[in-house]
Amino acid sequence: MIGIDLGTTYSAVAVVDRSGRPEILPNAEGQRITPSVVFFSGDAVLVGAVAKRSAAVAPLDTVQFVKRAMGDPAWRFETVSGQQFRPEEISAIILRRLKEDAEAYLGEPVTDAVITVPAYFDDGARRATQDAGAIAGLTVHRVLNEPTAAALAYGANRPTVGTVLVYDLGGGTFDVTIMRIADGEFETVATSGDRNLGGFEWDNALMRLINERFRAAGGPDLLDDDRTEADLRDRAEWAKHALTMMPAARVVISAGGSTQTIEITRAEFEDVTSHLVSRTRDIAEILIEDAGLVWSDIDRVLLAGGSTRMPAVRAMVAKMSRRVAESAVNPDEIVALGAAVQAQVLTAEHSDGAVPRPRVNGVPITIRDVTSQGLGTLARIEGTSRMENVVIVAPNTPIPASNSELFQTVVDNQTSLLVQVTQGDDRDAAYVKVIGERELSIPPYPAGALVSVAFAYDFDQTVSIELTDLTSHRSLGTFEVSDVANMTPAERDRATRKIHELEVS
C-alpha cells in the first residue's frame, strides 16, 4: 500500500521500506515530486513537469490547481477540442500517473493507497478525493488529514515529542493542527484552516504587482489574455521562489510589443502579501484559544508545505510561537511520508501478523484524529417558520464519533420527517452547507412527539444517521449521507471508463 500526497501544486508518493522507514518514490523523470498539472494534446494526456511547461503556450488545454475545486459539482474543465472533465476526473488522471510511476519503480502492481487531504476539507471534497482514487484504479483505504500525516512522518522515529502545533501551508490550502505525540500515540487535539489559502494566493498578489509595474512602463494588461496571464503566473512563481533565497528578483516580460525587466524586492513582496501571513496567524491563534491552550503549552512547532519556505512566514511563526519552528523533514515530502506510515499501519492491521506494525520505542503506532467541522441538522424554530442549524457532532470531536439530539414533531398527525444533514458550526442555516437529506415516515402523533436523531462519524468520514421514534421506541430508519455534490455510482463508472481510455504519460 502506498501513501499519496495529492497536492494543489505538487504531488508525491511514498512507501515504508523493508527497514521500516518511509521513503519517497521518484517519478518517471527521476524527480521526487510531480507537478499536479495536466495537459491535453489530442488523444495524449501529459502529467507533471512537461504539462506545467505547457501552461504558458497552451493555457486552454492545461489545467492545474484542481484540488481547490474538489467537491464542487458545477466545476468543469473544457479543452479546446470540447472535452469536459470534472475535478474528480482531473485528479484521477494525476493519481493514475502517480500510480503508474510507483509501479514502475517498485516493479509490481499497486492497487491500494492512503491519500491525504487538507484537514479542513469538507465531506464533499473528501468523498471526491476517494472517487478520484477509485477512478484511477486505486482502493483508497483512508483519507488522511495532511497535518496528521506530517506529524506521523516527524514523530515516527522520535520516542517522545509532546504537544505539537503543525503549521501546514501548501500550494492551495492552509491547515493548523494541534497534536499530542508520545511513544507511538498520535492524538489530534484540534484542527482548523482555510481550504482557499495557500501559495496560490501569494502568486496572485505577486502577479498583480508585476502587472501593475508592466502597465506603468507602457505595456498592456497581462491579465486580459489567457496566454500572457499563464506566462505571468509562471514568472511570478519563479520570482516567489527566488525571493525565498535572494533580496530581489528580476523578471523579463514581453507582450504587445513591449519588453520590460521588472525588479521586485523581497520587502515589496512581503508588503503585498502581509495580509495573507496575518490570516494564517489569526487562524492559528484562534485555534490555540479554542483548544483551551496557551503558547507555553505547545512544545514544538512543525512546518509542512512548500509555502512555509517563505522567510516572512517563518519569521511570523517564530514571533507568534516564540520559538524556532522545526522542519527536519522536507516540507514538500513530509505529508507523503506520513501517508506511507498510515498505509503501513493499515496493512499491518489486515495482515494477520504477516506485516509488522510500525512502532516507536517498541510501542505500536496509534492514530486518533478529530472532525474538522461540525455536523448537524436543520430544525424549525418553535413558533416560527424559520430554520436553524443544530450541531450534533461538534468540530474537533475525536473520531469515530457519535452523538444524538432530541427533536419533536411540529404539527398534529405529522406523517414524515425531512432530515437535512448539515456541515458547519453556525446556528444560522444560511451559513452552513446541506450535504445530504432523507425523508422518513413517522406514525401520526399529536404535535410534540419526540424523535431522537443520532449521528455516527467513522474513520473514513462516512456519516450515518438513525432516527428513533421515542413514543414507540422503534427505529424509523437509518441512512448514510451521500453528498449531493458527489458522483453517483453510475457517474463514477462512466468516469472510470473515460479515464482508462486516455493515453496518460
What is the DSSP annotation of 356-371? Answer: PPPEETTEEPEEE-B-
Q: Does 262 have pLDDT greater than 90? A: yes
Q: Which residues are catalytic?
A: 5, 67, 146, 168
Looking at residue 418, its pLDDT comes to: 93
Considering the chain, tell me which residue range(s) the CATH 3.90.640.10 domain(s) occupy.
199-272
Whether residue 75 contacts residue 69, with contact meaning beta carbons closer than 8 Å, is answered with yes
Looking at residue 463, its pLDDT comes to: 84
Looking at residue 461, its pLDDT comes to: 67
Cα–Cα distance between 448 and 466 in angstroms, integer?
19
Segments of 146-238 assigned E as strands? 160-169, 174-182, 185-194
Handedness of CA 60, 91, 174, 192 (dihedral sign): positive
Structure-block grid coordinates of residue 214: 508592466
Among 52, 54, 29, 34, CA closest to 42:
54
Q: How confident is the model at residue 362 (pLDDT cuts 50, 70, 90)?
A: confident
Among 88, 144, 86, 93, CA closest to 117:
144
Q: Does 364 have pLDDT greater than 90? A: no
Mean pLDDT of 77-99: 96
Burial class (CB in 10 A: 0-12, 13-18, 19+), 336: buried
Q: Which amino acid is at 36?
A: S
Q: Does 253 have pLDDT greater than 80? A: yes
- Tell me which CATH code domain 2-197+277-368 carries: 3.30.420.40
Considering the chain, tell me which residue range(s) the CATH 2.60.34.10 domain(s) occupy.
375-472
Looking at residue 435, its pLDDT comes to: 87
Q: Does 150 have pLDDT greater than 90? A: yes
Looking at residue 9, its pLDDT comes to: 95
Looking at residue 350, its pLDDT comes to: 82
Burial class (CB in 10 A: 0-12, 13-18, 19+), 180: middle
Q: How confident is the model at residue 483 (pLDDT cuts 50, 70, 90)?
A: low
CATH superfamily of 375-472: Substrate Binding Domain Of DNAk; Chain A, domain 1 (2.60.34.10)
In our burial notation (b when 16+ CB lie closer than 10 A, e otherwise), range 476-488 reads bbebebbbebbbe
Q: pTM for the full model?
A: 0.92
Cα–Cα distance between 227 and 57 in angstroms, integer?
7
Q: Does 408 have pLDDT greater than 70? A: yes
Tell me what percent of the residues of the chain surpass a pLDDT of 90: 77
**For the residues of 418-443, what is the DSSP string, one character each?**
EEEEEESS-SBGGGSEEEEEEEEEEE
The helix (H) or strand (E) run that includes residue 206 is helix 199-216
**For the residues of 488-504, what is the DSSP string, one character each?**
PHHHHHHHHHHHHTSEE
- Tell me which CATH code domain 199-272 carries: 3.90.640.10
Looking at residue 460, its pLDDT comes to: 65
290-329: pLDDT as tens digits: 999 999 999 999 999 999 999 999 999 999 999 999 876 7
174-184: pLDDT as tens digits: 999 999 998 88
Minimum mean pLDDT range among 20-34, 357-371, 383-397 = 357-371
Looking at residue 55, its pLDDT comes to: 87
Residue partners of 28: CB distance under 8 A and separation at least 6: 48, 101, 104, 505
Burial class (CB in 10 A: 0-12, 13-18, 19+), 365: buried
* Angular region, 161: left φ>0, alpha ψ -120 to 50, beta rest: alpha
139-149: pLDDT as tens digits: 999 999 999 99
CA 109 to chain centroid: 26
Of residues 59 and 327, more confidence is placed in 59
Among 436, 438, 439, 442, CA closest to 462:
436
Cα–Cα distance between 389 and 184 in angstroms, integer?
38
Q: Does 355 have pLDDT greater than 90? A: no
Pick the most confident of 43-47, 99-103, 424-428.
99-103
Q: How confident is the model at residue 67 (pLDDT cuts 50, 70, 90)?
A: very high
Distant-in-sequence contacts of 234-242, Cβ < 8 A, 24+ apart: 234/55, 234/56, 235/210, 236/203, 236/206, 236/207, 236/210, 237/203, 239/206, 239/210, 239/264, 239/269, 240/199, 240/202, 240/203, 240/206, 240/269, 240/310
Looking at residue 247, its pLDDT comes to: 97
Q: Does 360 have pLDDT greater than 90? A: no
